[in-house]
Amino acid sequence: MKYSNLPNTSIKVSKICLGSMTWGEQNTEAEGHEQINYALDKGVNFIDTAEMYSIPTKAETQGSTEKVIGSWFKKTGRRDDVVIASKVAGPGDMVSHVRENLGFHKEAIKDALHNSLKRLQTDHIDLYQLHWPERNTNFFGKLDYKHDESEEWEENFQEILESLQEFVQQGKIGHIGLSNETPYGLMKFLQAAGDKLPKVVTVQNPYSLLNRKDEVGLTEILHRENVGLFPYSPLGMGTLSGKHLDGIQKNSRLDLFPQYKRYSNDLAVEATRKYKDLADKHELSLTHLALAFVNQQKFVTSNIIGATTMEQLKENIESVDIILSDEILKEIDEIHQQIPNPAP
């Protein structure tokens, strides 16, 4: 396994992060525990979760993923062997069942944090992230920002950081991060932090061969401000394994949950086919090509992989040993120029 530091901290995290959002929906508690045990045996020490998981979010399974991790902590006593990241949900109809007081005001964060700590059966969360912005912006499948003149949101970056600071001082949060955030949001949080408030150390955004939009503006900030990218969906919800090239595979995630169709539109499939040909040319699996590309980016702190089967998990973790040559990287860029960001 390879490791890097969470930016501006002494915490070492594995280059591969174990994603968990299927535990409690597509995977049972026992299967979740099996994945954790295997990943840790392979050197993975980083697990990402969220209060709204499992996915797709619904009242019956909300919080189930954190409960799976919490029961593993209780069963094994290995809390200190894991860096745990979780997230507080932003506002929105899709999470109205999570809490009555959604958003990032102090009491909402307090409730969310304490509920997560209880489910996780721990007294602290190493990296606590804001799952998506409160303001209207372009995330969850949108490339272009369209301003809403009727928006009622008022700037509250400093207020949020002041609330989070209290929980950092109490030892309940180690460090803070953002998720589904834009260059504007990241810079506003960094400016508001100054020298006295907690600094954002990571941003968790979608990033893959099918979605490199953050290279347009965000990655310069990541480099210059020493903030790490924490990519999710590096396989485009399984699309970049190549299994859907001849149609959506039955009982796959895209078959069970068609709301994630942005990863399987015609352009995404066309691009995937080109990447598959490139992988075949260099005698690589498409999964390894796609994950290794993400792993090699200098702005990436840890790559969030997810799996519903142990076979998938093993292949995903093995990607850490794949090094793509300059020739392959050039050929990837040529495909990207032909079909840029088909799955935002």
State the Cα–Cα distance between residues 270 and 211, nearest whole angstrom. 14
State the Cα–Cα distance between residues 69 and 63, nearest whole angstrom. 10
State the Cα–Cα distance between residues 323 and 331, nearest whole angstrom. 14
CA distances from 218 to 186, 187, 204, 242 (A): 8, 9, 12, 28
Question: Can 232 be counted among the known catalytic residues?
Answer: no
Distance of CA 247 to the CA centre of its chain: 26
Instruction: Render 169-183 in DSSP notation, one character per residue.
Output: HTTSEEEEEEES--H
Radius of gyration of the chain (CA): 19
Taking the CA of residue 22 as centre, how many other CA atoms within 13 Å lie in the half-sphere pointing to its CB?
A: 27
State the Cα–Cα distance between residues 293 and 211, nearest whole angstrom. 12
The catalytic residue among 38, 53, 184, 232 is: 53
| Cα-Cα-Cα-Cα dihedral sign, residues 280, 281, 283, 287 | negative
Single-letter code of the amino acid located at 93: D
State the Cα–Cα distance between residues 304 and 92, nearest whole angstrom. 24
Q: Is 173 helix (H, G, I), strand (E, B) or coil?
A: strand
**Bond into 233 cis (ω within 30):** no
Catalytically annotated residues:
53
